[in-house]
Structures are given as structure tokens and as C-alpha cells.
Structure 1
């Protein structure tokens, strides 16, 4: 089995002061590109997919693809459930071999979020799978996740401590001013809130919505206790924009083995940059 849970990866990152980059993948090209670049840089990596990604690719097919690609490269890889909300869906995918799940109950009231999360933790831990949960909400869009506005956009540090202790989660995604998708202006991160949360919560912390956040800000977050950095939109844009340019340059091209070459190179540049920002190169 080449698919692993994320608990050990994140604890090692926490101990040594770096972060694990988590890239949202959507197809064969993105899987290959993330794994090849991570192997080239000797970086641990997490492949993540939202519910719509698994629906698009098919859970058994995606599990088989990632397992085969990782085995062929001599790698152990974490395939992660990103922003999943359905207990039954998580159960199905964990039984299919996935060993890392994010249950997103952040839309629910605090006590309900705890109950949702505890149920998923009990399930996943029986199968040796790690669990990430979220407290506070990010606005914006990531695949099928669309949030226009929220009542509690930031994570409360006191609640974060209580939430982590009462749920038994392995990592906690926090809201400190990032958002999903593209930013209309440079985000202003609440570093003091991050410092407060990190001083209270002992488990690894996760930063969602890192696409478009200035590199120095992400690096600062990592230095202050962020152990996992999620990247989705930047990867999709690099791939799509380059692909469009290829077709504009040569409208006659029709071979995916040809027109994907430059698009994969564009994704690889983003992946290298994020690995450098996370400080995860050479950590295998």
C-alpha cells in the first residue's frame, strides 16, 4: 500500500519547522506533475481532491491511479479528502483505501461541528486514517465549494483549543484571513491570531486558501506553526492559461501528449515555488 495517512507527515513538519504542501489534483496530468516535481525535490507531498474531483474522476479510479503512480516512482503519498461534509461519502472513500480526510463542519454551529467531527474521527481512526477539521470559515470558491459570506470568518483561539481537545482530530484548519479562489486585493492575514492559536493548540495547523497569498506571508505562517499549506487555484490557472496559449499559437494541435507538455511545465513551476515556500524540499 503506497497511500498513507497525513498524521506522521504533519507531526514531522511541526517538529522541524516546515510545512507539507497539499496540491488539489484533477486529472492524470496533475497527478503526474505533482509527484514528479515532489520526487525531484525530495519533498513530502499531499494530493487532495474535493468531492467534485472524486465524482469527476471516480473514487476507485483515482485511488488506483495515485497508487500506481506512487508505486512506479517509489514514493509513499497521502491522498486526501478535501472539504468533505458527508459522513457516508467519507466512509465510502476511506473503505476504498484513502487514509486522510478533512471533514468540514465549519458551516455548522460550534457544538454541532464538534459532533460531526467526532463521528468522523471515530470512523477514520478505526481504519488508520487521519482527520483534519476546520474551525472558522473561508469565503470564495474552490471547485464545488462556494461561500459568499460567513458570520464567523476567523477562528477563535479559545474555541480552537476546546475543539481540538474534544474531537480528537489530527490537524486543524484555521481561518486567519485567507480565502478560496482568486483574491481581488492582497489579503491581510491576522498573524497575531495565528500566534495565539499556535500557543494553545498542540496539533498541526493547516492554512487553506494559499493561492495568491504573498510568498513572504505564507513563509511567515509556516514559521509560526502552519504545518500544511493548501494550493488549488494557482495550479489550475497555470495549467489552463498555458493550455489556452498553446491552442492560440497552434489551433491545429490535437494530440494531448503534445499540447499538455507546456501546461505541465507551468504547473511544475508553481509546485516548485510552493515546495520552496513550505521549506519541504529535501525532507524525505
Structure 2
């Protein structure tokens, strides 16, 4: 089965009465079947996103081959997305390998440079049918080893968002409206009015990074306010590592490794299913 880009997958999701798509970080191949089981349970299309660190660890081509194979055998419409990449060379590698969506993260640059670089990535991706996400504003917290301190958070303005979308034609835009990467024990404070104004000004799919830590009520309100893609990563990782710590602690060296991983994967499936159903 051919992998879907984001606009095509979003259209399928809307046809199944989903208001938004969850995009879920994959950290290792052992977790991968759990993602497809969740999509089956929720009758949802599946968007899997990969950090550049994970892509380099596992290999871009291996990821494409594994995800494409499971998408075909399980008959799950799937998008494979490279997340938070600031290196156009890595984006080119992902596109050549068969990723169906990429993110160019120029949020650390001034808006002129961010626009210029995003346009170059779009020129690279669009002829291949690959969707492009960009980010405007600085979202706090840690993502794949990169840290944005609280004092460096910069919220997305309506005027900048409109200019960015008008000048790039990007497929989806990640905005900074109060969420934090990696937040697990606290509660995000989403600026819903800012989000609604950006939605009205851009008429472009918007992305909420830092989906972990957002209450269900806030998430439903954000989705109703214009969010079409929600990134979730920390919650699955915390559940997987926690279960692995428990099973490895109790296990014997003669046990099959799969016995340690099965409970962890079941926990991930449960988290994903719950999140997918939240986006209906």
C-alpha cells in the first residue's frame, strides 16, 4: 500500500468522522505493531512520526519498508512523517527513502529565513507528492534532545502566521499557543483565543505540538478551534519504558525478550486507542 501524505490522510480521517489526526512518535521498531493495533481498534487512519535521531538510529529505508509493509498487510491508510528536522539534507534522505510527509523546523530562525528555507523544502517535496509541515514561534520543553527554555518561548502571532502561510503555501503549520514538548506531569495552558484567530486568518491545517499534558477538555476545544494534527510522543514513551522496567525487573535471563516487551506494547496500544478516540 502506498503511504499517504498528510492532506490525503486527513481527508480520509474526516470521512470517518475524525475532527483531527493524532501523529504519534515512534521510538523503536518493537513498538510499531502496537500502533497498527490501535488504528484497527479505533478504525482510524494512522500517522507515525519519526525524529531525526530515530531515523538515523534505525535507518530511513528500514522505517519506510517496515511501515509500508504493515500498512499493506493490515490495510491501514498510513502516513510516515519526519518530525522536527532543520537539515534539508536529512529531509532529502527521507523523501528519497519514501517518507510521505516531512517537517522543516525553522522556528529558531527569523521569519524571513524560515519562510525562505520552508519554500526550498516545499520545492523539493511537492513534485514527489510529499506534504510539508513548518513551525512558527518557539514551543517550550524538550524534543529529541533539543531544549527550549521557558524564557525563550515565543507565541505565534496572527500576522506572522498569515504572512507565513501566504508566502509559503505550506501544507500544515505548527503554532505555539501554550503547549510544551515533553510535558507529562503538568497541565498545558492553551491560548484558545489566539488559536481561533490564527485559524481564521490562515485557513490552513494547524498542528499542536506537545499533545501530552493537554487535558481532554482542552484538547477537544483546541481541535474545534482549528487544530487538525496533534503530536503525541512522551505519553507512549513513558508507558513503554515504565512497563519494560517492571517486566525486566521481574524476568529471568533465560526468558524470551518478547515476554518483556508484550506488556509494554499493550500499554502503548491502549494509549494510542484512547487518543485516537479523543479526536473523533
Alignment of 1:1-284 (within 5 A): 1-11=1-11, 18-149=19-150, 151=152, 153-183=154-184, 185-252=186-253, 254-279=255-280
Query: CA 1:261 to 1:94, structure 2 compared with 1: closer, same or farther past 3 Å?
Result: same
User: How far does the alpha carbon of each residue in 1:91-114 deviate from its partner, in whole angstroms, 9 at most, with x for none?
Assistant: 121011111011100100011100
Structure 1: runs of 5+ lacking an equivalent: 280-284
Q: Could you tell me whether the CA contact under 8 Å between 1:154 and 1:174 is conserved in 2?
A: yes
For 1:109 and 1:272, the matched residues in 2 are separated by 38
Superposed displacement of residue 140, structure 1: 1.1
TM norm structure 1 = 0.93
Superposed displacement of residue 75, structure 1: 2.2
Q: Could you tell me whether the CA contact under 8 Å between 1:142 and 1:233 is conserved in 2?
A: no
Superposed displacement of residue 207, structure 1: 0.5
- Give the aligned partner of residue 282 of structure 1: none
Aligned length in residues: 279
Q: Could you tell me whether the CA contact under 8 Å between 2:12 and 2:45 is conserved in 1?
A: no
Q: Could you tell me whether the CA contact under 8 Å between 1:79 and 1:98 is conserved in 2?
A: yes
Query: CA 1:14 to 1:41, structure 2 compared with 1: closer, same or farther past 3 Å?
Result: closer
For 2:222 and 2:120, the matched residues in 1 are separated by 30
Superposed displacement of residue 13, structure 1: 5.2
User: How far does the alpha carbon of each residue in 1:114-156 deviate from its partner, in whole angstroms, 9 at most, with x for none?
Assistant: 0010000111001111111011111111223322246452110
Superposed displacement of residue 87, structure 1: 0.9
TM norm structure 2 = 0.94
Superposed displacement of residue 204, structure 1: 0.7
Structure 2: runs of 5+ lacking an equivalent: none
Superposed displacement of residue 224, structure 1: 1.1
Higher alpha-carbon deviation: 66-75 or 121-130: 66-75
Superposed displacement of residue 251, structure 1: 4.7
User: How far does the alpha carbon of each residue in 1:49-106 deviate from its partner, in whole angstroms, 9 at most, with x for none?
Assistant: 0100101111111111111111111222100010011111111210111110111001
Q: Could you tell me whether the CA contact under 8 Å between 1:34 and 1:268 is conserved in 2?
A: yes
Query: Secondary structure of the residue that 1:153 maps to in structure 2?
Result: coil
Superposed displacement of residue 44, structure 1: 1.2
